[in-house]
Amino acid sequence: MHNDIRKTAIVTGASSGIGKGIAIVLAREGYVLSTVYRSNDEGIRDLRGIVTGSYGSRLHAVKGDLSDPCFVERYAREAIDALGKVDLLVNNAGVGYAAKLTEMKAEDILSFINVDFVAPILMMKIVGGHMLETGIKGNLINITSTRASRAYPHDSLYGGMKAALQRSSESIAIELAMNGIRVNNVAPGATELERVDNEYYEKLGQKIPLRRVGKPEDIGEAVYWLASDAASYITGVSLKVDGGLILPGMPEKEDETTKYYDWRPVK
């Protein structure tokens, strides 16, 4: 029997990719889960099969649009009711938005900010309030990105909102620390998604110091550890899980790598 068999977690956006990997790791460790997803019914069916069939846990899933703040608050309260209590919130759901500054549309900007910044803040507000009211010394974890730390062209919104979420969580960590609630971020680097082919990942992996692209379960393991008692003295941090991709001094162009670094394995 798992020590955490009665632990509960909300993992937003768990129908695919990183969110699914996080949910699978938590289910393996005995968590009962709730998730919200936009449209991937097949992904939720597959996840439910793993959570219930492989790990004998439960999955509460709601379909909805996180760009609607009213829906976000309704979902948060529904998830709390469905789980009975919430020990862990993982704000994973997000959307990418790569666009030139001069080509951005106002309605797209607002919708994107609602999903990638407003929704996580509202989830922390509702779930954090629940933890305060019930005395739960729980965990709030945001999935940010290494793009919060490193700037790329056409990334002003996605990278900007991830940086904003990272900074906001530091203030929230201070606010909630005296109540035993920890707030942290996990910042993935290049991580596999189902919709990209293996050849792409193989080539990309050769540009990463640890010589592979991350897997969704790598992020799940980091989340599980941060929420565990092993990390009980850690709050307000952003944990990079990127294989060394954005270490200072890392060249990003292949010709620079070849010229200045010997990448042969150490024997």
User: 201-237: buried (b, 16+ CB within 10 Å) or exposed (e) per residue?
Assistant: beeebebbeeebbbebbbbbbbbbebbeeebeeebbb
Query: Catalytic: which of 158, 224, 233, 260?
Result: 158
Coil vs helix vs strand at 61? strand
DSSP-derived letter for residue 29 is: T
| 248 Cβ contact list (under 8 Å, min separation 6) | none
d(C-alpha 59, C-alpha 23), whole Å: 9
Are the CB atoms for 8 and 33 separated by under 8 Å? yes
Q: Is 97 a residue of the active site? A: no
Catalytic residues: 158
